[in-house]
């Protein structure tokens, strides 16, 4: 009888092992198939999932059943008014007089384009989140500069530090800031996907300017316009990139203390301050600024653009200064120039690390939750690192005694 029982037990275990082996094999095949699909041209891959018919974008599920149909100009929801970008409407009339400068022809096409379109800061909203600041008690708005292609980053942010919630009874909201892709064909396709994303989350604002590094200042200017017209009741703004980690609880603790100790018209513009620098004149640099864009060799002290905490009052002072200054393509420096124009100064916050974080202890990793638990913002994280760190920092069993 004992031998029979052992035989039956071995048979059952073997069966479970075989089932597990088959399951693992199938999962491996699916992963390989998924990786192969991801390596395909993303335009081709998305086009097969979201086919376009004439001037209508049709979203389908995997069975082919239509989910939503959007006309290019049809009003579809409270989160989307002006339809899908047509790939052309972002054009702005160039300023031909810029080419009269003797040095103009020596510049790269990028610099020439900027100089001829430097005046272009009035762009239409393609997607906007109505009612984002309808509540009178929105305390903090996290404004995240992102690219249409960075869905993975946005989804991680929505589920971690960018969650819309109440902290100590005060509302925290989020908003993603976008332009349109430089390639018209890919841009139209991405905007079809962005419409669906906007309908689901209601946290996207997009303008019809070309979203490039040199147009980040345009994005900031347009955001300030929106802030004045659609979110004038917010108290503070955390202006950040989409590859940062934000300790929202620490940011709120700092802001609540600041709010309770000052008047309503309070100046706040805090971040990692960079000073005693000027325009980079090296043509091979990403940050190259020729004298035709800025003659002066000095920048004012400025908060690095990865993360800037500001009050609504200060944001409006910057907004009022924008028309008084020529646009500079380095967005964080331009904001500081507007600040200086209004007689205001930025302040350094040691908890904002826009250039990354170095471990204060030798032979230890800076990527540790006990460091991140004490900070407000750390720049340059991959999406999976953001998720890992969020979970680690919020682990109730995390022990950091004598660590930092």
Residue 218's pLDDT is: 98
Domains annotated on the chain, with CATH:
125-353 (3.90.550.10)
In tens digits, the chain (404 residues) has pLDDT values of 444 444 434 444 444 443 444 344 444 433 433 433 333 333 332 232 223 332 322 222 333 333 222 222 223 333 333 444 444 555 688 999 999 999 999 999 999 999 999 999 999 999 999 889 987 789 999 999 999 999 999 999 999 999 999 999 999 999 999 999 988 888 888 999 999 999 999 999 999 999 999 999 999 999 999 999 999 999 999 999 999 999 999 999 999 999 988 766 799 999 999 999 999 999 999 999 999 999 999 999 999 999 999 999 999 999 999 999 999 999 999 999 999 999 999 999 999 999 998 877 765 788 999 999 999 999 999 999 999 999 999 999 999 986 65
Task: Write b or e for each residue in 264-289: b if 16 or more Cβ atoms lie within 10 A of its Cβ, otherwise e.
Answer: eeebbbbbbbbeeeebeeeeeeeebb
Q: Helices in 161-304 by DSSP H: which ranges?
A: 184-201, 216-230, 248-261
SS3 content of the chain, % helix, strand, coil (to 5): 40, 20, 40
CB 173 within 8 A of CB 138: yes
Is the separation of the CB atoms in 59 and 50 below 8 Å?
A: yes
The pLDDT score that the predictor gives to residue 404 is: 53
pLDDT at 12: 42
Contact 133, 166 (CB under 8 A): no
> ∠26-29-35 over CA atoms, to 5°?
140
Residue 324 per-residue DSSP state: G
Q: How far from each other are the two terminal CA atoms of the chain, in whole angstroms?
A: 63
Distances (CA, A) of 278 to 38, 225, 283, 312, 336: 42, 28, 14, 28, 13
Residue of 125, 134, 104, 133 lying closest to 116 (CA atoms): 104
Q: Which of these, 341, 276, 329, lies nearest to 302 by C-alpha position?
A: 276
Q: Which of 355, 381, 369 is nearest to 243 (CA)?
A: 381
């Amino acid at each position: 009888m004992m031998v029979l029982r052992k035989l039956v037990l071995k048979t059952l275990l073997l069966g479970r092992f075989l089932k597990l082996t088959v399951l693992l094999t199938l999962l491996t095949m699916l992963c390989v198939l998924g990786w192969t699909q991801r390596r395909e041209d993303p335009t081709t891959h998305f086009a097969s999932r979201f086919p376009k018919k004439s001037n209508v974008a049709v979203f389908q599920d995997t069975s082919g059943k239509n989910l939503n149909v959007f006309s290019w100009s049809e009003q579809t929801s409270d989160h989307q008014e002006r339809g899908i970008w047509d790939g052309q409407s972002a054009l702005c009339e160039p300023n031909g007089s810029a080419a009269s400068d003797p040095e103009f022809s020596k510049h790269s096409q990028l610099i020439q384009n900027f100089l001829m379109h430097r005046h272009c800061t009035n762009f239409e909203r393609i997607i906007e989140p109505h009612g984002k600041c309808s509540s009178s008690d929105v305390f903090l708005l996290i404004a995240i500069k992102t690219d249409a292609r960075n869905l993975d980053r946005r989804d991680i942010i929505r589920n971690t530090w960018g969650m819309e919630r109440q902290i100590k009874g005060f509302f925290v909201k989020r908003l993603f800031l976008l332009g349109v892709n430089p390639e018209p064909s890919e841009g139209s396709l991405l905007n079809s996907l962005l419409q669906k994303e906007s309908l689901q989350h209601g946290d996207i604002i997009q303008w019809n300017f070309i979203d490039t590094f040199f147009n980040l200042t345009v994005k900031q200017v347009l955001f300030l316009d929106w802030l004045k017209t659609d979110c004038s009741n917010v108290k503070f703004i955390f202006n950040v990139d989409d590859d940062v980690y934000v300790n929202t609880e620490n940011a709120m603790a700092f802001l609540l203390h600041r709010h309770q100790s000052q008047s309503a018209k309070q100046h706040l513009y805090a971040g990692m301050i960079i000073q005693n620098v000027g325009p980079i004149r090296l043509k091979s640099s990403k940050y190259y600024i020729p004298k035709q864009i800025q003659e002066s060799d000095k920048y004012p002290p400025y908060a690095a653009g990865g993360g800037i905490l500001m009050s609504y009052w200060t944001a409006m002072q910057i907004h009022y200064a924008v028309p008084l200054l020529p646009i500079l393509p380095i967005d964080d420096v331009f904001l500081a120039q507007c600040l200086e124009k209004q007689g205001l100064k930025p302040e350094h916050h040691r908890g904002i690390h826009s250039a990354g974080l170095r471990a204060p202890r030798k032979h230890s990793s800076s990527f540790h939750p006990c460091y991140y638990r004490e900070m407000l913002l750390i720049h340059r994280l991959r999406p999976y690192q953001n998720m890992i760190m969020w979970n680690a920092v919020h682990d109730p069993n995390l022990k950091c005694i004598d660590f930092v």
